[in-house]
Chain A
Amino acid sequence: MNNLDKLPSKNILSLFMTCGFPSLSQSRKVFQTIQNNQPHIIEFGLPFSDPMADGLVIQEANKLALKKGLSTNQSINLIKSISKNKGDTSYVIMCYINTVIKYGVSQFIKSIKGTVDGMIIVDLPFEEEKDIREQLENNGIYLIKLISPMTDSNRAKRLLHKSKGFIYYISSTGITGSNKLNHKEINQNIKIIKKHSSIPVLVGFGIKSKNDVDSLSKKTLTDGVIIGSALIQMYFDLKMNFSNYLKSLDKFIKNLKIN
């Protein structure tokens, strides 16, 4: 059973966090804090040396994790150790394709099977995905589709054919963490997506606060939101005081969950 099939139809909360940030042992505590709040989805970011679709905040998180020598195996083991309290939460890995290729696609899938429900591979577009998507699906893992404001209706139709889990709508052109939310454009594009697919549509990139979440739910047809950079930024805002960070993170997520 894939937890993504049990997502509610509205108010879905997906939280992104980089594995190994700020260090491996601290990262375990960060993910436990997130898991304790039982968001619908946790996105586990695998650090990459050249994250070309990420803004400064996630770049910095990647750098910190890699500086301490985090390996792909350590990230996977971290995810497995957190999953003891998984419950109904869906686990999704977000990463760049080179990490998977270098590990070996079938080897990678074998090691996450049964723990991870979906994968978002940022730089694996529709044109290159076929082989990996099939291998993932054969093992009960969904390849999550990304749709951007540049994707027109025809292309969206092709991309979303047989899509599973949820659809990741990139709120505007740009990298993670950096955008202003244009509700009108977002809503227009969600309408197009919903013409071609019946699974939940989540909006990500540039969602920073409870306010952003509320206004998106009110002004658009989105089924949920994805928050990432804002959760990491908090650590730097708190001058890297880890115990304060854990408390603030917990408070921030609890506040998000109040409807």
Chain B
Amino acid sequence: MSNYNEPNKTGRFGQFGGMYVSETLMPLLIELDQAYSKIKKDKNFQKELKDLFNNYVGRPSPLFHAANISKYLNGPKVYFKRDELNHTGAHKINNCLGQILLAKKMGKTRIIAETGAGQHGVATATVCALFGLECHIYMGSKDIIRQKPNVFRMKLLGANIIPVESGSKSLKDAMNEALRDWIKNVRDTFYIIGSTAGPHPYPKMVRDFQSIIGIEARAQILVQEKKLPDFLIACVGGGSNAMGLFYPFLNDKKVSIIGVEAAGKGAKTNETAATMTSGTPGILHGSYSYVLQDSDGQIKEAHSISAGLDYPGVGPEHSHLKKSQRAKYFGITDKEALKAFQLCSKLEGIIPALEPSHALAYLFKAFKNKHKNKVVILNLCGRGDKDLFTAAKELGFDTDE
């Protein structure tokens, strides 16, 4: 890979990506692509976004040397990119701020979004409160139960939560319903997609807004270590936190890139969300990428303990990075993630979300007593507050006491 320059004008990352939506949405997607290309170069927009990043989100997020985990591993020197310290508790806010500024520029008055773990929903509700826009969040009814604290947060922020009862009642179905809403209300509505998934230009746009993570991490590691890292590790559901970290390093060929998917009860079982390990290329939610599907192309239900990774698709750019072998992808089971969730809490005093717990579990599994003198940056993209009830239940702790 010489100078990385994906996607092309039609939204292709290699063979993946594209715009597979009904004609009703096409004119708007083309308009969105044009508006985004224009605004990207607009200095006022960049200034406004930077000011919000610094003073509303609390950027730059620190790059923390996790000395205790490094010692425990007896392997590489581990750094956490601490996007869990952001306002709203995860990386999702980075993208929401970018998109809502764009929505305002395009004169849209109504915001919709899908959410799985609730982190993107909370971030969307937050920016809607900040800018005074009407906000509707689609959320699978299964996720509403397992992410109660975030549901209450969104309500406090003034969002309307729409429970989705179709299919597996989780992220995929929430996205179907949000797309249906968008087709109906295309004239006044802006759809803030939370991941690097969906039709072009979303995968590119979300990646660009999230790439602040990697831009900061790259500058910070050069100060702290005087060299680039040897490894990047991030969890991948749709893939936005991972693309945010990876993208600014794609031309640094000596940096190894590792994406960690949720393998649920095991990548070879039917209860998995490890799309790139267990899936095949297909089209879901507007783009061509790896998906979990049967031999007739019917999309399978995903399974993961982590609502944020519980998605049978993945962003097209990850499929391209896998295919071109620029990045490697591995699966981590629910059990392994839960163990890492506890270990990180005990060792570093940081309770991670279940999503980055998958990245941590891979670190514990693959780097123990290995890769000495190497440097790893792991994206700690969310904090664990929202997962306390889920984790307590799994670990047999009665939270009612």
Contacts and interface: CB of A to CB of B under 8 A. Distances in A.
Q: Tell me, yes or no, whether A binds B.
A: yes
Task: Classify the secondary structure of B's interface with A.
Answer: loop
A178 B184 contact: yes
24 contacts: A50-B284, A52-B180, A52-B183, A55-B180, A71-B296, A97-B283, A98-B282, A98-B283, A102-B295, A103-B297, A128-B19, A146-B22, A147-B23, A148-B23, A150-B23, A150-B27, A150-B186, A151-B27, A170-B24, A173-B184, A173-B185, A174-B184, A175-B180, A178-B184
B172 interface: yes
Interface in A178-236: 178
A150 B180 CA distance: 15
B160 interface: no
A254 interface: no
Contact of A59 (B27, B166, B185): B166
Contacts of A102: 282, 293, 295-297
Contacts of A178: 184
5 closest A-B pairs (Cβ-Cβ)? A102-B297, A148-B24, A49-B298, A98-B297, A174-B184
B99 to A, nearest CB: 20
B19 A125 contact: yes
A151 B186 CA distance: 12
Interface of A: 48-50, 52-53, 55, 59, 66, 71-72, 96-99, 101-103, 122-128, 146-152, 155, 159, 170, 173-175, 178
A18 to B, nearest CB: 14
Contact of B299 (A49, A59, A125, A148): A49
B28 interface: yes
B292 to A, nearest CB: 11
A99 B166 CA distance: 20
Contact of A174 (B176, B183, B297, B298): B183
B356 to A, nearest CB: 28
Given A98-B293, A102-B282, A102-B293, A124 B298 contact: no
Nearest to B25: A150
A145 to B, nearest CB: 8
Given A52-B176, A53-B22, A125-B20, 7 more contacts: A49-B167, A52-B180, A66-B298, A102-B282, A128-B19, A148-B24, A170-B22
B21 interface: yes
B286 interface: yes
Nearest to A62: B298
Contacts, number: 111
Contacts of A147: 23
Nearest to A155: B27
Contacts of A125: 19-23, 26
Nearest to B288: A101
A151 B23 CA distance: 8
Interface string B272-303: 00000000001111101001010111110000
A124 B18 CA distance: 10
Interface residues of B, number: 36
A44 B53 CA distance: 51
Among B10, B187, B296, B297, the most chain A Cβ lie within 10 Å of the Cβ of B296
Nearest to B293: A102
Contacts of A55: 180
B205 to A, nearest CB: 17
Contacts of B186: 150, 173
A175 B298 contact: no
A101 to B, nearest CB: 6
Given A49-B298, A99-B297, A173 B183 contact: yes
Nearest to A123: B20
B279 to A, nearest CB: 12
A49 B294 CA distance: 11
B179 interface: yes
A55 to B, nearest CB: 8
B180 A152 contact: no
Contacts of A127: 10, 18-19, 26
A3 B22 CA distance: 26
A146 B296 contact: no
A191 to B, nearest CB: 18
A121 B394 CA distance: 44
Contacts of A103: 296-297
B172 A50 contact: yes
Nearest to B178: A52
